[in-house]
């Protein structure tokens, strides 16, 4: 089953000045449903990367084991360290979905913090090629971070135990519409 992006989900992530989606976040696809704009995919990556940097900057004693309720048929409780799990998921998804050259650039620039000059010198590329490759990596990983199943890295509140999206069931009961009552109608003409 292909992942469906909703308009409300991408609207807040889209760049207002984007020339491709005009700030709406979705681009028309020639075949199939609308696709998220590349500016949305880069925004998803940046949000996930900022959370990764936050988790990596925390002191060791700040991280703690938490008990989480897992909803399902058995209603289990599990133990976990969410910050560490998130950092591992972030790195492993990048490693699995990028080819060798992309992953080297990702590791130097994003994980090790090298600036563009050092990356260009180390990897033997020019400035333009470096930034084009960075944008492609952000777009590729932004899509992966949102569409990975069963637990996506984005939205972050869902990953870290906030609201959980549930599939809409088909046995919903709809309330009947109230009977139409005619309200008071003021006179349209002046009565003489």
pLDDT in tens, the chain (192 residues): 467 788 888 888 888 888 888 888 888 777 777 788 899 999 999 999 999 999 888 877 666 677 776 666 777 777 778 888 889 999 999 999 999 999 999 999 999 999 999 999 999 999 999 999 999 999 999 999 999 888 888 888 887 775 555 554 455 555 555 555 555 556 666 656
Judge whether 111 lies within some domain.
no
* Rounded-to-integer distance, Cα 108 and Cα 53, Å: 15
Judge whether 148 lies within some domain.
yes
Judge whether 22 lies within some domain.
yes
The count of structural domains within the chain is 1
DSSP 14: S
The residue segments making up the domain with residue 57 are 7-98+131-159
* Rounded-to-integer distance, Cα 15 and Cα 37, Å: 9
Judge whether 144 lies within some domain.
yes
Structure-block tokens of residue 182: 């005619």
Judge whether 61 lies within some domain.
yes
Judge whether 173 lies within some domain.
no
- Residue 184 has a pLDDT of 56
Judge whether 62 lies within some domain.
yes
For residue 186, CA distances in Å to 180, 181, 189, 192 come to 18, 15, 9, 15
- For 150, the 3-state DSSP assignment is coil
Judge whether 75 lies within some domain.
yes
């Amino acid at each position: 089953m292909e992942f469906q992006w909703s308009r409300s989900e991408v609207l807040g992530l889209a760049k207002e000045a984007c020339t491709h989606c005009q700030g709406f976040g979705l681009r028309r696809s020639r075949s199939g449903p609308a696709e998220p704009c590349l500016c949305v995919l880069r925004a998803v990556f940046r949000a996930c990367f900022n959370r990764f940097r936050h988790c990596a900057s925390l002191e060791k004693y700040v991280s703690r084991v938490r008990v989480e309720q897992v909803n399902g048929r058995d209603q289990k409780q599990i133990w976990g360290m969410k910050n560490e799990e998130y950092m591992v998921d972030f790195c492993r998804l990048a490693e699995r979905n990028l080819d060798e050259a992309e992953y080297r650039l990702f590791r130097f620039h994003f994980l090790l913090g090298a600036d563009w000059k050092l990356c260009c010198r180390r990897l033997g590329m020019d400035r333009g090629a470096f930034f084009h490759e960075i944008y492609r990596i952000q777009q590729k990983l932004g899509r992966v971070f949102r569409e990975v199943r069963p637990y996506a890295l984005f939205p972050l509140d869902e990953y870290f135990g906030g609201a959980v999206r549930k599939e809409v069931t088909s046995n919903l009961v709809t309330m009947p519409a109230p009977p139409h009552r005619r309200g008071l109608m003021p006179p349209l003409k002046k009565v003489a």
